[in-house]
Amino acid sequence: MELDFLTTWINEHALAILFIIALAILTRRFGMVPLEGFIRRAVKTSRFQTEAQHKQREQTLLDVSAGVFSLLVWMIAIAAIISQLEIDLRPLLAAGGLVGIVIAFGAQKVMQDIFAGLYVIVENQYQIGDVVDLDGDVGTVEDISLRMAVLRDLDGTVHHVPHGTVQRSKNLSKEYARVNLDIGVDYSSDIKKVIEVVNRVGVELAQDEDWQKRIITPPQFLRINDFADSAIVIKIIGETKPLAQWEVAGELRKRLKFAFDEAGIVIPFPQSVVHEAEGTEAHISKLKK
């Protein structure tokens, strides 16, 4: 009797459940193929984007879409399995009403993160591979989901930042970047000569075969930015490809140091002048006696 019941249950339900699971696995594996094709066609390269940025945008959308698609597939599969088992969920839902309310309050934060994540993705605020500052958490974006962004900073530390907690995001690698240097020169320096040396070094750097692919606009003198205590501070500006600003700035500093030394331009260090009051030495001598 029990064997007949088990055989009947397997014939009516078990095989159907196995079929649903197998179908869900196949749908999850191959269902993304047409979606991937649609995403690749939909993503357009703007006049500011390089091929690498285009690929980053594609990869970001593909990763997020795959996560959402997988969640939907398994939700539908679970619902179909419950239907096959002929489980009446109404008593469970009625008994779990209070629990559902508690869970709903707890899920508000998750939903806030998800909605914020949708804005991040749709507006293309940042994508995988970008360097961003999310309310002080700075690093390279390694992964983006609907709920959070995963950053890795220069120390190798991984930061998991929920989208809903971010009040202000800064993308340090979108479209182009900028070299922005303030350098002090001595007050006795010939400013015309300083400008000539700075502009020459910037052009030479931009024409260098090892650097020209990373530089959009050669670093050039912009203005005298400040009269500081020990130096005249000049500002130097130039545009680079995304993420190249730091290495270009470092190379520019090195070349400017060599060029300033050759031209006799002094980069001063902070100095303090101490004025001794008249009669101080005589007063100290009397106290010693």
pLDDT band at 42 (very low <50, low <70, confident <90, very high): low
Q: Which H or E run includes 236?
A: strand 232-240
Q: Is 288 exposed, middle or buried (0-12, 13-18, 19+ CB in 10 A)?
A: exposed
Residue 116 has pLDDT above 90, yes or no: no
Q: Which residues contact 176 (CB under 8 A, 6 or more apart)?
A: 48, 216, 239, 240, 241, 242
Q: Which two tokens stand for residue 3?
A: 């064997």
Where does residue 264 fall: left (phi above 0), alpha (psi -120 to 50 degrees), or beta otherwise?
left
User: By the 8 A CB rule, do 146 and 64 touch?
Assistant: yes
Tokens of 25: 């696995």
More confident residue, 159 or 43: 159
Q: Whose CA is closest to 236, among 264, 186, 270, 195?
A: 195
CA dist 289 and 217 (Å) reads: 70
> Is pLDDT above 70 for 146?
yes
Tell me the backbone φ, ψ of residue 238, rounded to 5 degrees.
-160, 155
Distance CA 201, CA 255 (A): 7
* Cβ contact 197:259 at 8 Å: yes
In this prediction, residue 172 carries a pLDDT of 87
Residue 47: what pLDDT?
Answer: 47
- Residue 180 pLDDT > 80, yes or no? yes
Most confident of 105-109, 116-120, 148-152, 281-285: 148-152
- 237-253 mean pLDDT: 92
pLDDT at res. 200: 95
Q: What is the mean pLDDT of residues 49-60?
A: 64
Which of 61-70, 84-93, 117-126 bottoms out in mean pLDDT, i.e. has the lowest?
A: 84-93
**pTM (whole model) above 0.75:** no
Question: In sequence order, what are the residues at sequence separation of 6 or more whose Cβ sits closer than 8 angstroms to the Cβ of residue 266?
Answer: 185, 186, 188, 189, 260
Task: Choose the most confident range, by mean pLDDT, from 12-26, 71-85, 99-113, 135-149.
Answer: 135-149
Residue 133's pLDDT band, with cuts at 50, 70 and 90, is very high
Q: What is the DSSP letter of 188?
A: T
- Among the ranges given (41-45, 215-219, 263-267), the one the predictor scored with the smallest mean pLDDT: 41-45
Beta-ladder partners of 223: 235
- Stretch among 16-25, 54-63, 259-268 having the lowest mean pLDDT: 54-63
pLDDT band at 87 (very low <50, low <70, confident <90, very high): low
pLDDT value at 48 more than 70: no
Token reading at 248: 């270009």
pLDDT at 91 (0 to 100): 62
- Residue corresponding to tokens 């003198």: 221
C-beta neighbour count of 53 within 10 angstroms: 21
Higher-confidence residue of 15 and 134: namely: 134
Alpha helices in the chain (DSSP H): 2-9, 15-30, 32-42, 51-84, 90-95, 97-122, 191-207, 245-263, 280-288
Regarding predicted confidence, which is higher, 105 or 47?
105
| pLDDT level of residue 186 (50, 70, 90 thresholds) | very high
* Local structure of 114: helix, strand or coil: helix
Q: Are 223 and 244 in contact (CB under 8 A)?
A: no
pLDDT category at 144 given cuts 50, 70, 90 is confident
Q: Residue 89: what pLDDT?
A: 57
| Tokens 């120390």, located at residue | 155
pLDDT for 164 equals: 87
In sequence order, the 6+-apart residues with CB closer than 8 A to the CB of 19 are none
Q: What is the average pLDDT across 67-93? A: 72
Highest mean pLDDT of the ranges 34-43, 52-61, 102-111, 144-153: 144-153
